[in-house]
Structure 1
């Protein structure tokens, strides 16, 4: 009985401190510069990134009942055109589902035009942040100079302010008539002065080259965290500290996710860690994001974006004929080609459901983007897959002049049109050539028409 009483006294005195005095965590989760990358394209094993894995990563913290603050550094898309607009819409919906509290404007976002930004702000309730940017447009849209979030509990009070800047070096003639970009330091001075004594943490989303972010950190020691860009390939190795301010980047392409952890206990806030994490296979694909990605592919199909691509004219009246036309005379080579990865490249898109995606189709068919090249499956079944003319060029002249041997020459630089660092980082020409090189023809194995 005495033992029981001692235990009861111990629990009564110490347990409340353990429960109610335990520090809460504020998690600032940051991404940015997706540049239209919704998911790994699947061109090689080991690709990282994508909104499905990102959603799973963020959701892993939700059940812990911490303060979770996902924010975006900017640049959802990478350029112009209808496909980029659709991607921006999909990414906006994805961020809404993931609970993003704001999106900092990057130069690519601004270049998409005020109409699309207005659409996102209304349909997806996107909170746009830009402390030194003013958009002049007759559309219902608000760009915040700062975003303030406040959380109260019986044991703590926590306030965090987010600021954002866009480098003046990213200004261009295409946006000058509806966007004003002000000098970042002058724009930040009154805001930081107003917020410094009223919040626990000030976070700056600095859509600038890293060098500019470093100068900002030197000028404003009141800032607690700077999330920066621009075009940083390996964000895990790029974290630096200036005046004890972490300057970090989520990289580009949506491949990594950043997380800054702060402990909150009563009125004290302390930085615990800042990490950049690759979104690899450890994070399973979110079912909600998979459905959103399927909808994206349906939108591409329904709008028939494949057939709406601008087609470049070929020189000297050349035209694509298709690999089956080549196979009439070069049967041995054709049979060999059909068993290579090039010979089934279109089927890989059908299997993954990406056969209506212009960005994928250009490297899985023959002549896409050129007059007489692949346009859609219904009209150009003879041009599916990476065919003979993908390497040798349009073959109509050669078919009419079969004894013209110069056509067989190829430029090895053509390979790198598709086998680039993004889709084929391990590309080594000699090794890859060995996999697809076709048999040599001699006078003894050529068809009679060629002799």
Structure 2
């Protein structure tokens, strides 16, 4: 019996008839040609317009996503594309968050997104600005369980769409997991089950009913019990590809992979079937999407420098070489790690993206702070993940000839894990093993 769920790397083949994708490792794949409607879904791009490539061979990125959608459209024209939210990523400059979200919404519109759920990281921009960006891009944002202080909903809860070649209309209902909260503090998050029920209740006619839940599968389970629902799509921080969940009397549920590393495809017919299409580096970019991403890079590169703030602990950043006078052994160990000289290596590999503020945040010392990294020309001594990136500003410590307890945490080396995970998270360092990484940078003697 063929398995209906597979992770399929896509290998591009340039053929005279157009761009097609051959499937590697797809033995036993259930093609489901009888499906009446194909639903494609991604989620949690988290600012990754391109995969960051901090680790070689990372998957994802809008140019690959739109290339696959275009190829799939030729084979399965009766299709619908949705996104489960979280377009924003790391950035200490709110102007970059806005530019990135604007680009993401435009790219989603270019991909034909029928609806996009509001994610909690999107709300960093505030509901008013978020709504304006979506409207400008021509994207429909959904948030059935979101209300402002006046009890009004800033976003619609559902939308009905027609799909070419599909007899029934499609009703899309979008809700956000209230446990994820609203970082803007401007909205109240109600019960997603009640909000979805209210949206479904007033809809008449023969419809496909699909609920989009921004949140993990364990909290999406109860949405499967909603009467008449054909499919529940969810996603939040899921790193592994999981099969379609089915059950008697329950709507099928599929959880998408975080960072939009793959494109989920669900066929709805006599039975639901699901496939995950891996957005690997073997997929050629969609040209229009690549052009929009490149425009984003130019826009953020041209932004005037953000106002710098003093380091919280005060003092002056001095660079790791200053530490070597007293910490010779530790400095020698540091020079043998990948933290040493990292910005120079990245500049040689990808000079364009190496200068982006979102990348500098994890590749240099003190970006955005007074006396912190500016450029390799002006502040070369800070162009790496130096001692002060973890231990704190060292100027006062060095000037005093060393002070007891500086840059040391109670609990020993393993207590530093939260600091490491600030940059070595699942987005930028998939598969990061803290214990192994700790052994590679061991520079303490006690």
In the superposition, relative to structure 1, how do residues 45 and 143 fare at CA in structure 2: closer, same or farther (>3 Å)?
same
Alignment of 1:170-209 (within 5 A): 170=180, 174-176=184-186, 179=187, 181-189=189-197, 191-195=199-203, 197-199=205-207, 201-209=208-216
CA RMSD across the alignment: 3.9
State the distance in 1 between where 2:154 and 2:396 align. 58
Q: Report what 1:424 is aligned to.
A: 429
Task: Give the match for residue 18 of structure 1.
Answer: none
Q: Is 2:268 aligned against 1:258? A: no
Decide which of 324, 327, 340 is 1:343's aligned counterpart. Answer: 340
- The alpha-carbon distance between structure 1 residues 236 and 397, as it changes in their structure 2 partners (threshold 3 A), is same
Count of matched residue positions in the alignment of Structure 1 and Structure 2: 401
- Superposition map of 1:42-191 within 5 A: 42-64=53-75, 66-77=77-88, 81-134=94-147, 143-151=155-163, 157-170=167-180, 174-176=184-186, 179=187, 181-189=189-197, 191=199
> Could you tell me how far apart the structure 2 residues matched to 1:182 and 1:392 are?
41
Q: Aligned partners of 2:179 and 2:325: how far apart in 1?
A: 56
Give 1:387's aligned residue. Answer: 386
SS in 2 for 1:363: helix
Distance (Å, rounded) in 1 between the aligned partners of 2:391 and 2:121 = 36
TM-score (norm. length: structure 2):
0.74
Give the Cα separation in 1 of the matches to 2:398 and 2:195. Answer: 65
Kept after mapping to 2: 8 A contact 1:101/1:127: yes
Distance in 1 (CA, whole Å) between partners of 2:76 and 2:435 is 54
Which deviates further from its counterpart, 287-296 or 29-38?
Answer: 287-296
Aligned partner of 1:320 in structure 2 is: 317
1:100 offset after TM fit, Å?
Answer: 0.9
Give the structure 2 partner of residue 448 of structure 1.
none
Shift of 1:64: 2.1
Deviation, structure 1 residue 346: 0.7
For 2:299, what is the secondary structure of its paired residue?
Answer: helix
Instruction: Determine if the alignment matches structure 1 residue 221 to structure 2 residue 227.
Output: yes
Which stretches in structure 1 are left out of the alignment for 5+ residues? Answer: 1-21, 263-268, 441-451
1:265-304 aligned at under 5 Å gives the runs: 269-304=269-304
Give unmatched runs, 5+ long, in structure 2.
Answer: 1-32
Q: If the length of structure 1 is used for normalisation, what is the TM-score? A: 0.73
Listed one character per residue, the Cα deviations across residues 220-260 of structure 1 (whole Å, up to 9, x for unaligned) are 23100011234333342574546242111213222232111
- Write the distance in 2 (CA, Å) between the matches of 1:416 and 1:114: 29
Q: Residue 309 and residue 234 in structure 1: after superposition, are their counterparts in 2 closer, same or farther (change >3 A)?
A: farther
- Contact 1:236/1:277 (CA < 8 Å) preserved in 2? no
> Structure 1 residue 436: deviation in Å?
6.1
Report the Cα distance in structure 2 between the residues aligned to 1:329 and 1:73, rounded to whole angstroms: 52
Which is worse superposed, 158-167 or 220-229? 158-167
| Bigger relative contact order, structure 1 or 2 (CA pairs below 8 A, ≥6 apart) | 2
Alpha-carbon distance between aligned partners in 2 of 1:428 and 1:185, rounded to the nearest angstrom? 37
Contact map agreement 2:311 2:370 (CA 8 A) in 1: yes
Which residue number corresponds to residue 239 of structure 2?
Answer: 233
Contact 1:297 1:356 in 2 (8 A): no
Contact residue 163 and residue 205 of structure 1 kept, 8 A: yes
Return 45-54 or 278-287, whichever deviates more: 278-287
SS in 2 for 1:101: strand
8 Å CA contact retained: 2:176, 2:214: yes
Q: Give the conservation status (yes or no) of the 8 Å contact 2:363–2:384.
A: yes
Larger radius of gyration: 1
Distance 2:326 2:181 in 1: 56
| Paired residue secondary structure (1:203) | strand
